[in-house]
Each structure stands twice: as structure tokens, then as C-alpha cells.
Amino acid sequence: MTQPPHPSRCASHLLPRGEKDGIDRRALLAAPLAVGTLAGCDRLAVAEPTPPTVPPLKSIAPFPIGTAVMAGHFDDPAWVALARAQVNQLTPEWEMKMEYILQSLDRLTFDAPDRIAAACEREGVRLHGHALIWYSQGEQAFSGFDRTHFGRAFDRYIAEVAGRYRGKLVSWDVVNEPIAEDGNGLRDSHWSRNLGDDGYMIRAFEQAKLADPEAVLFVNDYNLENNPVKGTTFLRTVERLLKAGAPIGGLGTQSHLDIEIPAGQISRFMRDLGSFGLPVHMSELDASLRRERGGDFRSRAQRLEQQRARVVELAEAFMALPERQRFAFTIWGLRDSDSWLRRDNRDDGKDQPLLFDDAGRAKPLTAAVAEVFGRG
């Protein structure tokens, strides 16, 4: 999430660009959804080319295509129509996170995640749970306990939430964003301080496995492609947890891409990630055109070409994985106007981080990704 804060960060995981640059993901996710609105036109911009004709992504990709969802999206017919056409997996963007569900240790709220789960069942699409344990949430509710009572409350929360959706979802992000922002070691959090740096993660996976033995259990993080130091720390952490017996079933890389990273960096990380032999989830893809640091003198055409090159490299690296390891390819929003990157006050309405424009039309980027998927 100097990359954009990721959505987990998303109001949860917006760490990449967000955390570093002061974006409050919680505020962004809590803000009204920008549904179906067209951004103001740049009077100096030339007319946009005719949108390309692209087959539905889910019809050509040899793996599930996902997107992030908020319960309010189901009230937008245009979003529903686009989602039905393009995707066959949904990830709750915020409303299955602890910050939403956990009102207190004695009161859990499930209205929105239940609505999302019911919609997935009704529409016959997969549901990916996001997220059980995240460093950014739960500290206040879990404060004041000794280690024993803290652990019991930790176990109970996972049992109640993961158990509620047992058989209704295919997978969970069990531990979200455990690696430090700069990549040097693990994050310090209320979880690690009470249960140990690796201990809280091992325990979370064990409890999730007990609550839903059939779900694929993921560890998920961001900036892994963007920051080689962080990517390496993530890989070493996974290796260590697996050796300790943690029942990790899959690896999630959020892929909030910095479009200015060198060519080849994404592919190298993906090869290393795939070396574990576990399912890989491209879990929160977007690619902002904005530069969060320094002046930006790139033309729009240059930025779009950088974006295309990096997203295509990601798609090709994912396609290069063995078929059994390609768990899903999830875009963090459908239309540009749905993106968390368009929810802060600095946004000028012109960022185009996703595969469909504000009106839900495919873009040249969409066609480029579809071409890669069509090869398989």
C-alpha cells in the first residue's frame, strides 16, 4: 500500500503511499463511495480514443478474476452489471475487517459482511475473506489483558468470525501486512507484543485452520514487488513460519504497483514467491498514475505507458506460475472512481489506477491484460 497505501491498509491497508504520505485509509474507506460519477474534464486534454472491445476478463483468464467490494456497491446497478460481466471472486474491501466487525469483545457486527457473503452465494461467485488479524486494528478492544486472557480473546475472535463464514468462503487473509514498512523486519504491534513476533502469526493460522479447515489460509502484504528489501523479508518470514508448522496455505501480494520501478523487478519477485509451491493471490492490484514524491513532469502518455508496462509484467509473471499456483487475480476496485486512491482530498479526479474507467468502459490497459490472459 513510497507506494500507495494499500487498501488493507485500505482503511485498512493503505500503507504504501498512504501511510508514508499521511493518507488516512480509515477515513477514505469510511467516506461515501464515489459511485458512477464522471470526473471533470481537463480542458486541455485531447479527446479520448474509442474504448477497446475486450472480452469479459473472467471468460478468458484461466483462473478467477476478483475485485474489492463494499456492501453499498450492490445498490449501484451499473457496478453490479460490470461485476457480473467481469469477475467471479469478491473480496470485502473493509467490512470484513476487525475495525468494522469488532464493536467490543462482547459485540460483533456482521450486517455488511453477511450481505456480501449472501450476494456471493446468490451470484455463484467465490468469496475471499479479508482480513482476520491486521496490525492496525483491535488494540483498544484488546487492551488491559494479561497474556493468558489476551490469547483467549484472540482465539475467540478468530473462531467466531472464521467459523461464521465456514463453507461460505474459499479463503482468508489470516495475517495482513506483518512486515515493517521499510522492509527491515516485522512490524511492532499489540499482537506481537503480547503473543510474540512469529507467535501471533502461527497462532492465528492455527486458530483459523480449526475454525475453517477447508479454507485456503493466506499471509498477505504490500510493496513486495516495489521494495526488494520488503519482498525478501516477506519470503524469509514465510519460510520461517512454515518451518515452525504454521498451516499457511497461500501467499498474497497486494500489488499496489509503483509504475516507476525498474523493468524485471516484478518478475524476479514473482519467481521467488512461486518457489514455495503455494497458491499465489494477486490480491489488491492497482497502479496509480500519480507520483507521491517530488515534481512530476511526465506527460500523461508517458505515465500510461509506464503503467501498462508494469501491469503487463505483473500479469505475465502471474501467468508464468504453474497453473495450480494461480489462485486468483484481484483488482482493487472495478472502475477508476471506485478506487480508494480517488477518495482523498488531494485527488483531482484524473488518476486512473484500475482497468475500467469511471463509466465502466475497458481501457487500452484492459486490452493489454486480456491479451496476456488469453495466451493461456
Q: In 3-state terms, what secondary structure has residue 34?
A: coil
Of 177, 225, 292, 313, the catalytic one is 177
In the chain, how many H helices and how many E strands? 13, 12
Q: Which three cell numbers stand for residue 335?
A: 472502475
| Exposed/middle/buried for residue 117 (C-beta within 10 Å: 0-12, 13-18, 19+) | buried
Q: Which three cell numbers stand for residue 194?
A: 503480547
292 is catalytic: no
Q: Which three cell numbers stand for residue 25?
A: 485509509
CA–CA gap between residue 44 and residue 66 (Å, rounded): 35
CA–CA gap between residue 364 and residue 287 (Å, rounded): 14
Backbone torsion region of residue 6, taken as left when φ is above 0, otherwise alpha when ψ lies between -120 and 50, otherwise beta: beta
284 is catalytic: yes
Alpha carbon distances (Å) from 200 to 7, 132, 190, 205? 22, 12, 10, 9
Question: C-alpha angle with apex 185: 183 to 187, nearest 5 degrees?
Answer: 90
CA–CA gap between residue 56 and residue 89 (Å, rounded): 14
Rounded (10°) angle between helices 147-164 and 199-211: 40
Of 19, 93, 284, 292, the catalytic one is 284
Catalytic positions, written as ranges: 177, 284
